[in-house]
Amino acid sequence: MKKDLLSVYELGLADFEKIFDDARRLKKALKEGKPHASLKGKTLGMIFDKSSTRTRISFEVGMYQLGGIALFLNSRDTQIGRGEIIADSARMMSRYLNGIMIRTYAQANVEEFASSASIPVINGLTDLLHPCQILSDLFTIKEKKGSYKGLKVTYIGDGNNIANTWIDAAARLPFELALACPEGYDPDAHIMARGMKESKEGIVLYRDPFEAAKNADVLYTDVWASMGKESEQEERKKVFKYYQINKKVLKEAKKDALVMHCLPAHRGEEITADVIDGSHSVVIDEAENRLHVQKAILEILL
């Protein structure tokens, strides 16, 4: 693997499998109460420009379980929030820490941080991508279905960071990806074009969620208005009305389809309560796996 984890596009098949194998080992060790403190004395800085529940808890607890510590750095309370430049922050923090996780707006800022830092930088979500999430989702699919190979994953909703990262994953791994997004809310054009060219099993963008959901092994959705788009919430409620995972859409998928959501969810918007709380849903396992998968990433990079 490279020094940093900025996107899943930069991973090779062997990198994905190494992360999944290590995550499986670490999950087992934790469940069996076996010591696995492989990062004793190591430190992770966690810079947050946006809110978080899962990412913060799973990275913080993960570092603790591996024998290290994590520092929560809300950028509002640091000099970054007062305009200290990225290059200085990255170079200086590299002298204190063994790794940095960043959640922010622009992907370019995470990339700039990584290129100035001498320590590993992990993308904890940007407007463009959310690599740790999709790695945990793929691991969850492997656990539940044995493999992601040859499966059909259908994403319904906004062409956001989650959709973009699914496309990157489909460019690298042999599964089929169907997306259903309303016009004007497509995934990133560059990521989409690249994914369509490089995917082995195919990536198709639909307007009709029912068509996209046909025969799916996995139905996935995410909020209609991501962090930073809150002011568009009301407008988006109108545009996305039809882009919901509900019982009718679930009927189009395979009988044993998994329902997934990165969380937080808005019941009654992108997904109905009966479906997210129903028998197909694996959203809590998916959230748990953030811990195990990120511990694997931390072990590999730190």
Strands 121-123 and 99-103: parallel
CA 202 to chain centre: 21
- Residue 160: name its binding partner from ligand NVA, ligand CP, none (Cβ under 5 to 8 Å by kind): ligand NVA
User: In terms of C-beta density within 10 A (0-12 exposed, 13-18 middle, 19 or more buried), how is residue 259 classed?
Assistant: buried
| Contact call for residue 262 and ligand CP (CB under 6 A) | yes
User: In terms of C-beta density within 10 A (0-12 exposed, 13-18 middle, 19 or more buried), how is residue 255 classed?
Assistant: exposed
Active site (annotated) includes residue 103: yes
Q: Are 174 and 150 in contact (CB under 8 A)?
A: yes
Give the range of 7-15, 48-56, 79-87, 143-151 binding ligand CP by CB under 6 A: 48-56
Nearer to ligand CP, 1 or 263 (CB): 263
CA 191 → CA 74, 203, 209, distances in Å? 30, 11, 21
Neighbours of 266 (CB within 10 A): 15
Q: Are 49 and 123 in contact (CB under 8 A)?
A: no
| Residues near ligand NVA (CB under 6 A), total | 9
What kind and span of H or E run contains 206? strand 203-206
- Residue 118: name its binding partner from ligand CP, ligand NVA, none (Cβ under 5 to 8 Å by kind): none
Nearer to ligand CP, 205 or 283 (CB): 283
| Contact call for residue 261 and ligand CP (CB under 6 A) | no
Residue of the chain from 263, 285, 288, 300 that contacts ligand CP (CB under 6 A): 263
- Residue 89: name its binding partner from ligand CP, ligand NVA, none (Cβ under 5 to 8 Å by kind): none
Nearer to ligand CP, 38 or 52 (CB): 52
| Contact call for residue 236 and ligand CP (CB under 6 A) | no
Residues within the interface to ligand NVA (CB under 6 A): 125, 160-162, 222-223, 226-227, 262
Residues within the interface to ligand CP (CB under 6 A): 52-55, 125, 133, 262-263
Kindly list the catalytic residues. Answer: 103, 130, 133, 222, 262, 290
